[in-house]
Amino acid sequence: MTVRFEEIAAGVHLLHEPLLRVNVVLVVGDGAALLVDTLSTAGQARELAAAARAVTPHPWTIVNTHHHFDHCFGNVTLTAGPGTEVYAHARAVAVLRDGPDALRRAAYEEMRAEQPALAEELARTELATPTHAVHEETVLDVGGRRVLLRHPGPGHTDADLVVHVPDADVLVAGDLVEQSGPPAFEESYPLRWPDAVADLLRLTTPATVVVPGHGEPVDAEFVRAQHARLVRQAWLIRAGHTGGAPPERVAAESPFGARPGLIAARRGYADLDGTA
């Protein structure tokens, strides 16, 4: 299946991977480029590279928004050129460096029922450790364009990065913001996720194009609405934990539905119990 980039702002291009609806962003500057995320497999990454080369011949730097397979397992393929720099949060760097086998196993288990062919490919994928660790924020010069990499705090994971391109008014939010489905809470910090989204909202204007991890681009108003639901989810968890309610009761009232709400409640209870 052929994939291609479409320009969503001046010199900022978006590719939708069709299988899992993952978004990849390409920022093009003067003689340099930046790729945000690298997809799931070597095959997907090769198609991504071809699509990027149809837009620009410039060498690229890579950013991984976090360490989940659909955002970074293509690193090896996309760093085939000499000296390619890859940025990620410090905790994502550590996981990719120290736990590649665990990441492959987790990816396989997640996908084997619904996408068995993809799961088999994930189990064989070679992983590459990012070359640069971001702790709070880093500013890159992408061919004369200022690009901010910022860790807004724990949310979807403890290693999320957002990528802000201020001259184009584009914010790449990774899986801190989701459009094609509810937020994924499996490795999340649901009590702190609202603060992370509030932090990234401070980078937006009414006209900002926000690129979620999956699905269609959204605006700041969409993000504010999702933030309000995350605040409600966190409040329900705290109230349920204080009142001794089982996580299932919290899940029944979740603004994201019972299944995501149950995962969020269990993660939040573990955090409050000090067992997360």
Q: Is 227 domain-assigned?
A: no
Q: Report mean pLDDT in 10-residue bins for the chain, 276 residues.
A: 91 97 98 98 96 97 98 95 92 97 97 96 96 98 98 98 98 98 97 98 98 98 98 98 98 98 98 90
Q: Is 259 domain-assigned?
A: no
Q: Is 269 domain-assigned?
A: no
> Got the DSSP string for the chain?
-----EEEETTEEEEE-TTT-BEEEEEE-SS-EEEE---SSHHHHHHHHHHHHTT--S-EEEE-SSSSHHHHTTHHHHT-STT--EEEEHHHHHHHHH-HHHHHHHHHHHHTTT-HHHHHHHHH------SEEESSEEEEEETTEEEEEE---SSSSSS--EEEETTTTEEEEETTS-SSSPPP-TT--TTTHHHHHHHHHTT--TT-EEEESBSS-B-HHHHHHHHHHHHHHHHHHHHHHHTT--HHHHHHT-TT-HHHHHHHHHHHHHHHHT--
CATH code for position 137: 3.60.15.10
What's the pLDDT at 80?
Answer: 80
What's the pLDDT at 177?
Answer: 98
Q: Is 229 domain-assigned?
A: no
What's the pLDDT at 185?
Answer: 98
What's the pLDDT at 78?
Answer: 97
Q: Is 225 domain-assigned?
A: no
Q: How many domains, in total, are found in the chain?
A: 1
Q: Is 276 domain-assigned?
A: no
The residue segments making up the domain with residue 203 are: 6-219
List, in sequence order, every residue forming a beta bridge with 147; answer none if it has no partner.
Answer: 140
What's the pLDDT at 1?
Answer: 56
Q: Is 151 domain-assigned?
A: yes
Give the C-alpha separation, 65 to 73, whole Å.
12
Torsion of CA 28, 29, 35, 36, to 10 degrees: -100
